[in-house]
Structure 1
């Protein structure tokens, strides 16, 4: 016998689970949201800070080898 759940039921179950987590574990939910916002902010900061083209791995190793 094969068990299958349609998308609407899955969505409803997941929504109920998320609401229950938010209600009962506000600290966990807060930490998740905070971490996501930090990751997004870091990504934006990296994009803003990029000014030059990337340096090839070969060039980096050449420079490191020449310092010996």
Structure 2
């Protein structure tokens, strides 16, 4: 059964490489988001007005 499933998965990915590319892309984005969340949890918080002042100054 293991070989049958393995062959079926390989066949799907060979025929639909775009699915594999999308899957890997989404996985990398999720990993990046996880790192960003962890980084945000380690940094000091700022209030909403300070964020918008900084954004407006940059535009």
TM-score > 0.5, shorter chain as reference? yes
Report which of the two structures shows the higher radius of gyration computed on alpha carbons: 1
Which TM-score applies when normalising by structure 1?
0.55
2:42 pairs with 1:42: no
Where is the helix percentage greater, Structure 1 or Structure 2?
2
CA RMSD in angstroms comes to 1.5
Number of residues of Structure 1 aligned to a counterpart in Structure 2: 43
TM-superposed CA distance for 1:35, in Å, is 0.5
Match 1:16 to one of 3, 7, 18: 7
Which TM-score applies when normalising by structure 2?
0.61
Query: Structure 1: which 5+ residue stretches go unaligned?
Result: 1-8, 53-68
Query: Structure 2: which 5+ residue stretches go unaligned?
Result: 44-59
| Deviating 4+ runs (over 4 angstroms) | none
